Structure 1
Amino acid sequence: MNIFVLDENPIIAAQMLCDKHIVKMPLETAQLLSNVFSTALKVPNPFVSVIDQDIEIPYKLTHNNHPCSLWARQSKGNFYWLIEYGKELCKEYTLRYKRKHKSEEVIDWCEGFTHFSIN
């Protein structure tokens, strides 16, 4: 579970990744984003309130105390940065490999759900 912050701008950071990381990082980003919601269901979070306790989180909770997981749920700004980074990773993947990354749906789910749950 990593986030390669090669630039403060998430779009530029994603574009700078090598091909090997463009293949791998969308999944890790989707897992980190899912962790924010999984954790919010179990532990109160200052910026995430999950009203519907029956939502189906795309990925099971993993590496909850990894520094990147902690960072992702530390602030609203970090969470939104990671959303943008994930979206751009998927765009780069499509540009380079001419197909859609499987994690794109999960990142879109996390982005779509933020309108209802991110304070």
Structure 2
Amino acid sequence: MNVFYLHTSPIEAARMHCDKHCCKMIIEYGQLLSTAHRVLDGTMEWGQTKTGRKAKRWRLPDDRERELYLASHIQHPSGVWVRSSSGNYDWLYNCFVTLCAEFYKRYGKIHETARKLTFPLQIRPQNISMSDMTEPPQCMPDDAKIVGSSLDAYRNYYIKYKHEFAKWKMGNIPSWYSDNLEKGEYALL
């Protein structure tokens, strides 16, 4: 679970996701956004997992109950971040929608999560705090973190930890990524 904050613009950030993340993060962003709705607007109750374990569930009082994904990673810093302000929710939703379009551009098909969640998630949770965006938390190994800049930290994380599989099908490799790898550097700092 993560939010790849690769650019301050959610549109540019989505376009900078490598191919593997273009597929995978659509699901994760859908989960994070769905969880925001469930935790902020739902009622907590106890349910069971498929294996019979007792688990907290959040039931929504409207159509979102059947449309959205179940809540997951409730206490994860990225989950807490997305539901802490309307600015954070909007940034991630715009990144999600652009990433869905990017998936279609790269693979010629609509991602199932895009088909299911694009419209239900466009309306913010009713009980979200109406406030500006804050930088996402740095959810990565300590040696990739950069104090005071989540943007630089996430770029650093990509270069340092994702270079073994990071590829861009359409060849739109971010310059901050390719420039550092050409120099043989596996970190920004």
Which structure 1 residue ranges, 5 or more long, are not aligned? 44-51
Instruction: Name the CA distance, whole Å, in 2 between partners of 1:109 and 1:54.
Output: 11
Deviation, structure 1 residue 86: 0.2
For normalisation by structure 1, the TM-score amounts to 0.84
Report which of the two structures shows the higher radius of gyration computed on alpha carbons.
2
Q: Deviations over 1:28-77 (max 9, x none)?
A: 0000000011101137xxxxxxxx72441511111000000000001010
Query: What letter matches 1:91 in structure 2?
Result: A
SS at match of 2:21: helix
Q: 1:11: which partner in 2?
A: 11
Q: 1:26: which partner in 2?
A: 26
Deviation, structure 1 residue 110: 0.8
The reply on whether 1:88 has 2:88 as its aligned counterpart is no
Query: What letter matches 1:4 in structure 2?
Result: F
Instruction: Name the CA distance, whole Å, in 1 between partners of 2:85 and 2:70.
Output: 21
Equivalent pairs counted in the alignment come to: 109
The reply on whether 1:100 has 2:125 as its aligned counterpart is no
Equivalent runs, 1:33-52 vs 2, <5 Å: 33-40=33-40, 41-42=42-43
Instruction: Name the CA distance, whole Å, in 2 between partners of 1:102 and 1:28.
Output: 13
The structure with higher relative contact order (CA 8 Å, sep 6+) is: 1
Could you say what the CA RMSD is over the residues aligned between the two structures, in angstroms?
1.8
Percent of pairs identical after alignment?
Answer: 37
Contact 1:33–1:107 (Cα < 8 Å) also in 2: no
| Greater share of helix | 1
Q: Deviations over 1:61-119 (max 9, x none)?
A: 110000000000010100000110000010000000000011113132110x33x8366
Q: 1:53: which partner in 2?
A: 61
Q: 1:48: which partner in 2?
A: none
For normalisation by structure 2, the TM-score amounts to 0.54
Which structure 2 residue ranges, 5 or more long, are not aligned? 45-59, 131-189
